[in-house]
Amino acid sequence: MAETREGRKRILSGMRPTGRLHLGNLVGALANWRDLQDDYDCFFMIADYHALMSEYEDPAGIAGAAREVLLDFVACGLDPQRSVIFRQSDVPQHAELHLILSCYTPIGWLERNPTYKEQMRELTKRDIHNYAFLGYPVLQAADILIYKAHLVPVGEDQLPHLELAREVVRRFNNLVGEEALVEPQAKLTASPRLLGTDRRKMSKSYGNQIDIADDPDTIRKKVMSMITDPKRIKRDDPGHPDACNVCDYYKTFKADEADEVARKCPRAEWGCTDCKKHLAEILIEYLAEPRRRRQELEADPDRLMRILADGAERAGAVASATLDDVRRLTGLGAM
Per CB under 6 A, residues contacting ligand SF4 are 228-229, 232, 239, 241, 244, 246-247, 261, 265, 272, 275-276
CB of 216 to ligand SF4, least distance (A): 19
Residue number with CB closer to ligand SF4 (261 or 315): 261
| Under 8 Å between Cβ of 143 and 45 | yes
Strand, coil or helix: 22: strand
CB of 303 to ligand SF4, least distance (A): 41
Residue number with CB closer to ligand SF4 (31 or 268): 268
Residue number with CB closer to ligand SF4 (195 or 304): 195
CA distances, 158 to each of 28, 137, 189 (Å): 13, 11, 11
Residue number with CB closer to ligand SF4 (176 or 262): 262
CB of 260 to ligand SF4, least distance (A): 10
CB of 245 to ligand SF4, least distance (A): 7
| Under 8 Å between Cβ of 47 and 14 | yes
Residue number with CB closer to ligand SF4 (17 or 241): 241
Tell me the DSSP string of 172-202.
HHHHHTS--S---EEEE--PPP-B-TTSSBP
| Under 8 Å between Cβ of 155 and 191 | yes
CB of 226 to ligand SF4, least distance (A): 7
Rounded to the nearest 10 degrees, how much is the dihedral formed by the CA atoms of 223, 226, 231, 235?
A: 30
As a whole number of angstroms, the distance between CA 18 and CA 63 comes to 10
CB of 270 to ligand SF4, least distance (A): 6
Task: Say which residues have a Cβ less than 8 Å from residue 308's Cβ, sequence separation at least 6.
Answer: 70, 85, 86, 87, 90
As a residue count, the chain comes to 335
CB of 231 to ligand SF4, least distance (A): 9
Residue number with CB closer to ligand SF4 (31 or 282): 282
CB of 222 to ligand SF4, least distance (A): 14
Residue number with CB closer to ligand SF4 (202 or 213): 202
Tell me the DSSP string of 31-60.
HHHHHHTTTSEEEEEE-HHHHHHHHTTSTT
Secondary structure of 83-117 as H, E, C letters: CEEEEHHHCCHHHHHHHHHHCCCCHHHHHCCHHHH
Strand, coil or helix: 139: helix
